[in-house]
Amino acid sequence: MLLAAASGLAAAATPARAAPRDLKLTDLQKEADVACVYHCDFGDPQRFVQMLTNIANHYSAYGADPFALQLVVVAHGQGVKFFLNDLTDTSWRDEAMVPKIFERIEDVAKNGLKIHLCEITFDRLKLDKAKARDAAFISFVPSGVAAVAALQAKGFGYMKVG
């Protein structure tokens, strides 16, 4: 009995892996005077790194104040691959992951960056949503292009790198 209680306590102390949450388009809100959506539908690693550099520069111009600037990345199509745990069992399985790319994403996300991944992309490419990185700043939206349009309708500026 003591062993059962101890193992239950150990299980309770182990953090559960939370799947990225699902958002509805109506959940997307503008929360700062200046807000931009970065549209990521490309799979080119150099272009993706340039987008992260632009986002970091964008935050820098506002003193990294998450209340002054709201940035969101909407990823669909090939753009979702940068937010996966690995590329096995995907159409990108023969590609190498960009070294330390997720650490760079996490670093930029400390300023308030949110990432919205397209459910339609995951469905059409037969990707398990559990392959997505587990991070509080990552969520799923029903459609990437619809999310970009919804954010623009709410006053977000549109940014696309490359």
**How many residues make up the chain in this entry?**
162
Sheet holding 69-75, edge to edge: 21-22, 138-141, 114-118, 69-75, 34-40, 157-159
Confidence at residue 110, expressed as pLDDT on a 0 to 100 scale: 95
Overall average pLDDT of the 147-153 stretch: 98
The 8-class DSSP code of residue 47 comes to H
Per-residue pLDDT tens for 110-141? 999 999 999 999 999 999 999 999 999 999 99
Domains of the chain: 2-159 (3.40.1260.10)
Quick one: average pLDDT of 27-36? 96
Distance between CA atoms of 86 and 53, rounded to whole angstroms? 23
Q: Which residue has the tokens 């388009």?
A: 25
For helices 45-61 and 101-109, give the axis angle rounded to 10 degrees: 20
Cβ(60)–Cβ(88) below 8 Å: no
Read off the pTM: 0.87
40 SS3 class: strand
d(CA 112, CA 84): 20
